[in-house]
Amino acid sequence: MDEETLDPEDWATLAELSHRIIDDAIAYLREVDERPAWQEMPDDVRDFFAEPLPVSGMGADGVYDAVIRNVMRYPMGNVHPRFWAWYMGAGNYTGALGDFLAAVQGSNLGGGNHAAAYLELQVIDWCRQMTGMPEDSSGLLVSGGSMANFTALAVARNVHAGVDVRELGVAAIPRPLRFYASNQVHSCHRKALEALGHGNSALRQVSADSELRMDIEELTDAIREDRAAGFQPACIIASAGTVNTGAIDDLEALADLAAAEGLWLHVDGCIGALLAIAPRNRWRVAGIERAHSIALDPHKWLHAPFDVGCVLVRDARAHRETFAVTPEYLEKTPRGIASANWLHEMGLQTSRGFRALKVWMALKEHGVEKFGRLIDQNIDQAAYLGELVAREGCLETVAPATINILCFRYRRDGMDDATMKSVNTEIMLRLQEEGTAVLSDTTVRGVHCLRVAINNHRTRRSDLKLLVEEVVGLGDSLSERYPRYG
């Protein structure tokens, strides 16, 4: 009987296809701004995704052609210079090569004694150096900020539960735990506390001040009140950069309060932790190094291709004790592959991808200083956009940019809120459908607005100028639909 393999019969043919893929990939990025930022898929492309399970193969050439036609043409758009929706990095080519090489090597980062595992530990240590956490901190690369926050909150919970919660479960916790965050906190914290078994009610949301930072007086009162009512305050979740507006909580003051109250200070730095490497903006996150744990996102301001997040934990032992289980089939050996620490003991996943290489290669290629300058550049660009918006009578700033996020809207005198919301929503959708730019929307202090988050190393000021011209043009023509404003 003939034995089979997934390797090609003819390596030379596969090499030819691979070279073509690389050439196409380089052209794809080189010419990214000549394509729409986003485009709707035609019906035949949608139908393509309903094709049934392939029973026999079509060969690699055919597969690649189908990917080019149906997939590569219809991206989300975040590698485009005018993509500013939600909060994403713009990727980078060297990082993509890193993902490719990681997959070729194929190592499983559950851990062990091999180069990939050491390289991941090095990247975690670089993240630690970037944020100034102490040398004996621990960490882990995870899928993104959501998992980084979850991992940190699990450690905080176990440390403050007051019982062996791993053995006994949350029902044995004597007094219900409380976690505190501003009402601007990312939704992943709610999900984390739900999954950890405490429920959303364990997350006490504190008001935000006029700059949308956590109100520390109200927080202090909330902690006292909860103690008096029989709750166990456990953890303050500081936002270093909120999704809505980029607001950064007062980290020094929160570190002081956490110390005085004996609480865990977790910093959700998915947006802002990396400000610590930006020469002109690092002052904004002063005190971050005092956290018990930090979540940060290399797939945002380090522009690593998705996905990669990083959790850092000051107390390495508490981190390990939250997750480590050593089954008989994963015991350490004195020599060989199993002679190093297992990375799976630091989180939920057992098999893990080689996410570190794409981060490592881009950092080595450019150096951390360049990434820091790019962060400063995005912040300057958001301020520039703020100036352009201020110059237009029909545009109104809803939340000014403190870092790289600006919220604004199109308005006309006398236009009511509901009309403004539909006009602005329509502007946002037309910008997408025309392929000009991708923005998202949000509501800040009850005001619906367009939101521009410039987390993009390809954005130029000319892109922002074009955005403002297009928004004004679309807004003017749309308001003609409403006779009172035409």
Ligand X SMILES: *Cc1c(COP(=O)(O)O)cnc(C)c1O
Q: Which stretch binds ligand X (CB under 6 A): 9-17, 140-148, 371-379, 400-408?
A: 140-148
Give the residues across from 138 on adjacent strands.
313
Instruction: Name the minimum Å distance from CB 86 to ligand X.
Output: 8
- Residue 226 or 268 having the CB closest to ligand X: 268
Examine residue 186 and tell whether it contacts ligand X (CB under 6 A). Answer: yes
Instruction: Name the minimum Å distance from CB 375 to ligand X.
Output: 14
Instruction: Name the minimum Å distance from CB 99 to ligand X.
Output: 16
Q: Which of residues 291-320 bind ligand X (CB under 6 A)?
A: 297, 309
Q: Which helix (H) or strand (E) holds 269?
A: strand 264-269
With CB under 6 A as the rule, give the number of residues binding ligand X.
Answer: 14
| Locus of tokens 């971050």 | 288
Residue 271 near residue 279, CB atoms below 8 Å: no
Tokens of 70: 């149906």
Tokens of 44: 């035949």
Q: Which of residues 213-252 bind ligand X (CB under 6 A)?
A: 241, 243
Q: Which stretch binds ligand X (CB under 6 A): 117-125, 191-199, 265-273, 279-287?
A: 265-273
Residue in 159, 235, 237, 270 binding ligand X, rule: CB under 6 A = 270
Residue 239 near residue 251, CB atoms below 8 Å: no
Q: Which stretch binds ligand X (CB under 6 A): 13-21, 159-167, 248-256, 264-272?
A: 264-272
Residue in 97, 141, 188, 212 binding ligand X, rule: CB under 6 A = 188
Omega prior to 65 cis, within 30 of 0 = no
Q: How far is residue 127's CA from residue 133's CA, in Å, rounded to a whole number?
A: 9
Q: 271 CB contacts (<8 Å, ≥6 apart)?
A: 87, 240, 241, 242, 243, 246, 297, 300, 301, 403, 455
Residue in 99, 120, 226, 268 binding ligand X, rule: CB under 6 A = 268
- Residue 214 or 395 having the CB closest to ligand X: 214
Q: Which stretch binds ligand X (CB under 6 A): 108-116, 257-265, 266-274, 410-418?
A: 266-274
Q: 24 CB contacts (<8 Å, ≥6 apart)?
A: 68
Q: How many CA atoms lie within 13 A of 93 on its CB side?
A: 11
- In sequence order, what E strands does 13-160 have? 138-142
Chain residues binding ligand X by CB under 6 A are: 87, 144-146, 149, 186, 188, 241, 243, 268, 270-271, 297, 309
